[in-house]
């Protein structure tokens, strides 16, 4: 099986969260879990719809509050075809979006990795190597902003 990279992106997903909180921000990472285990492409079976596939959190301290940014990848009824839900929660606010791994990736487990600042990478292991697929960036406010986008394209044969 080969992976071919396309020079142009086929799909871009943008997700914006506008969260209103007062105060200036200073961040401190509070790592709950980071899934970075190699999984064989033929053995992963997605859990039942609504199950948490991957989760991580970062504590963001503000002058008045300390809020947690939580990112979860959840399975849905189409996860056997590579489709998942992305749930982002910051303080009392939350939002959910969908993303789909490359065609042919129904047996690949999505992996959530800590990125730069308050960001995260979503990717997968294929033939023993990690491949970045999407990224979530978060800028504490005000206004707070989250952006989710696909950064690479793959075709699995």
Residue 42: per-residue pLDDT: 53
- As for how many domains the chain has, the answer is 1
Evaluate whether 27 touches 140 at the Cβ level (below 8 Å): yes
The pTM assigned to this predicted structure is: 0.68
Asked if pLDDT for residue 12 goes beyond 90, the answer is no
Task: Write out the residue range of the structural domain in which residue 42 sits.
Answer: 3-156
pLDDT for 52-82, tens place per residue?
999 999 988 876 777 889 999 999 999 999 9
* Tokens linked to 57: 């959190």
Evaluate whether 21 touches 91 at the Cβ level (below 8 Å): yes
């Amino acid at each position: 099986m080969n992976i071919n990279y396309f020079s142009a992106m086929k799909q871009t997903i943008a997700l914006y969260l506008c969260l209103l909180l007062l105060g200036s921000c200073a961040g401190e990472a509070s790592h709950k879990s980071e899934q970075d285990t190699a999984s064989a492409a033929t053995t992963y079976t997605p859990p039942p719809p609504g199950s948490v596939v991957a989760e991580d959190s970062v504590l963001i301290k503000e002058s008045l509050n300390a809020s947690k940014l939580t990112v979860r990848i959840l399975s849905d009824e189409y996860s056997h075809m590579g489709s998942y839900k992305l749930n982002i929660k910051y303080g009392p606010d939350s939002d959910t979006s969908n993303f789909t791994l490359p065609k042919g990736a129904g047996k690949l487990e999505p992996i959530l990795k800590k990125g730069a600042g308050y960001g995260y990478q979503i990717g997968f292991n294929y033939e023993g190597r990690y491949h970045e697929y999407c990224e979530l960036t978060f800028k504490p406010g005000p206004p707070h902003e989250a952006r989710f986008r696909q950064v690479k394209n793959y075709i699995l044969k």
